[in-house]
Amino acid sequence: MQQILDINPNQVPIPLHIRVINRWKTQITDYLKSRTIDQDLCYLFVDKHGSAIEATANPNKEAYLESKLKISSCYKVDKYLVIKSRDYMRVVPHDATLRLGSTATFEPIDDNSIPTYYYNFSTYDMLASRMANPRPLTDYIGRVETVSPPLRRGSKNIIKVKIQDEWKNVIEITFWKQTMFPYEKEKALGQLLAVTATVVTDFQQNLQLESTDATTAVLNPDISELQSYIDKFSQFERSETVGQRKPVLPIAEIKAKYRQDTTQTKYVCKATVIEITPKRKWFYVTCPKCKGKVHLQRAEIPRFVCEDDGHVPNPSFMYCVNTTIKDESDEAKAVFFNEAMEQMLQKSCYDMVVKDGHTDPEIIPTDIYQIRGKTAVLDISMKQDFSMKQDNSMVVNKASLTSAIIPATPDSKTSTKRRTPASPDNETTEKPAKR
């Protein structure tokens, strides 16, 4: 019986004993027709040695393959084709991919020696290199520190989760499909989270992870190292400023530093919102394709139009709320942009505009005033403001409310033997997790 590690592109097929670990679809977007098109139906197989390989098929074979292959079940697979793996954004570091056609055979088997999972965890130090082409996809593990409410991005509800790894590095994961993180916030905080097949990105000089079509998320995964992770994380205390890489500074000190060096623009402060500036627009609308501004056309059926992309059926509604913030040292004008406002209000701009009907950007809804009196740790960028009399003003990019959350201690009894199936959306040498 052949091992997955020994499979090479273009070889003659030899029977494989495997377990089906995951299933997803890769898709491409047809922006002209505002729709997505299925590109490949994909599976992840693992053998008893803990090695994994991707298998792909034409999407028109979905019904046939779904009748043959079930997640977590084991099979003897034969008469497949072996092709070269795509270079870009590989799910696993293997040069070969199985191609499943009508001639492929799948014989169900019972084999408890085949693992029920596959992880190839990266460390934080590896992440920066994984942003370069061919951008291998990344598995990561850590303790859940924060979970956002559903946030609106274009036509999607997304979830943002911050985890802390065993070396106390904190990284934010964006799940671009809400179903990819199916856990309630109260049940997830403090638990161990393993994610797979994410892409590494950089936002404002901070490394982040973003989900792909192949991403899965599992709390307290059924891996041999689970208890050792639990023991290590039980010694970590959660900080109010978890995820902040810069020191928290008073507003007065930030202003002084910026006056001395205007090239240093990013800071962190802890402040209270004391005023909402009236008669200023509180949201704007962008094209999800080009990120440019879209304009409202008041026809019989009102619609939004981008000057480059035409009609935009699902524009992005983005907060931009002008405020005054204050701490014990000073106060400052600050504009809260989209993500920060979503974190302060626990409501997306899309919901505020479309669902609640607050469609006039110059009339500030009562709900916006709920942030007055709230204290938060703020990620800010400084900018020169020559239109006003103060030296400078602040842009708030992220906000973390300072209410304390005591994380739960993960319970090994709650581990799961199978991944939550995800509905689907790169090469450094790494040592796979022990199996």
pLDDT tens for the chain, residues 1 to 435: 789 999 999 999 999 999 999 999 987 765 555 566 778 999 999 999 999 999 999 999 999 999 999 999 999 999 999 999 999 999 999 999 999 999 999 999 999 999 999 999 999 989 999 999 999 999 999 999 999 888 887 778 899 999 998 888 889 999 998 888 999 998 999 999 999 999 999 876 789 999 999 999 999 998 888 888 888 777 766 544 444 457 889 999 999 988 888 888 889 999 999 999 998 999 999 888 888 888 877 777 778 888 888 888 888 899 999 999 999 999 999 999 998 999 899 889 988 988 898 988 999 999 999 999 999 989 999 876 544 445 568 999 988 886 433 333 334 333 333 333 333 343 333 434 443
Q: 368-383 as b/e, with b when 16 or more CB fall inside 10 Å?
A: beebeeebbbbbbebe
- Amino acid, single-letter form, for residue 347: K
- Amino acid, single-letter form, for residue 329: S
Q: 286-305 as b/e, with b when 16 or more CB fall inside 10 Å?
A: bbbeeeeebeeeeeeeebbe
- Amino acid, single-letter form, for residue 326: K
Nearest CA among 126, 110, 76, 41 for reference residue 426: 126
Residue 90, token pair as written in the block: 């590989």
| Beta-ladder partners of 366 | none
Would you give the distance in Å from CA 292 to the centre of its chain?
23
Which pLDDT does position 72 carry in this prediction? 96
3-state secondary structure the chain: CCCHHHCCCCCCCCCEEEEEEEEEEEEEEECCCCEEEEEEEEEEEECCCCCEEEEEECHHHHHHHHCCCCCCCEEEEECCEEEECCCCCCCCCCCEEEECCCCCEEEEECCCCCCCCCCCECCHHHHHHHHCCCCCCEEEEEEEEEECCCEEECCEEEEEEEEECCCCCEEEEEECCHHHCCCCHHHHCCCEEEEEEEEEEEECCEEEEECCCCCCEEECECCCCHHHHHHHHCCCCCCCCCCCCCCECCHHHHHHHHHHCCCCCEEEEEEEEEEECCCCCCEEEECCCCCCEEEEECCCCCEEEECCCEECCCCEEEEEEEEEEECCCCEEEEEEEHHHHHHHHCCCHHHHHHHCCCCCCCCCCHHHHHHCCCEEEEEEEEEECCCCCCCEEEEEEEEEECCCCCCCCCCHHHCECCCCCCCCCCCCCCCCCCC
Cα torsion 209, 212, 214, 219: sign: positive
| Contacts for 397 with CB less than 8 Å, ≥ 6 apart | 204, 337, 339, 340, 379, 380, 381
Rounded distance between C-alpha atoms, residue 352 and residue 390, angstroms: 31
Residue 154, token pair as written in the block: 């274009």
Report the CATH fold assignment for 251-401: OB fold (Dihydrolipoamide Acetyltransferase, E2P) (2.40.50)
Which pLDDT does position 392 carry in this prediction? 66
* Sheet containing strand 303-306, strands side by side: 294-297, 303-306, 310-311
Within a 10 A sphere around the Cβ of 218, how many other Cβ atoms? 22
Within a 10 A sphere around the Cβ of 129, how many other Cβ atoms? 11
Which pLDDT does position 237 carry in this prediction? 62
Report the CATH fold assignment for 4-109: OB fold (Dihydrolipoamide Acetyltransferase, E2P) (2.40.50)
Q: Which one of 3.10.20.30, 2.60.120.260, 3.40.50.720, 2.40.50.140 gives the CATH number of domain 124-240?
A: 2.40.50.140
Rounded distance between C-alpha atoms, residue 113 and residue 134, angstroms: 33
Q: Does the predicted model carry a pTM greater than 0.75?
A: no
Which residue is it, tokens 């300072």? 402
Rounded distance between C-alpha atoms, residue 168 and residue 170, angstroms: 6
Nearest CA among 335, 337, 338, 344 for reference residue 394: 335
Residue 66, token pair as written in the block: 């779904």
Within a 10 A sphere around the Cβ of 206, how many other Cβ atoms? 17
CB 141 within 8 A of CB 165: yes
Rounded distance between C-alpha atoms, residue 130 and residue 83, angstroms: 24
Domain(s) of CATH 2.40.50.140: residues in the chain: 4-109, 124-240, 251-401
Nearest CA among 41, 49, 44, 50 for reference residue 77: 44
Which pLDDT does position 73 carry in this prediction? 97
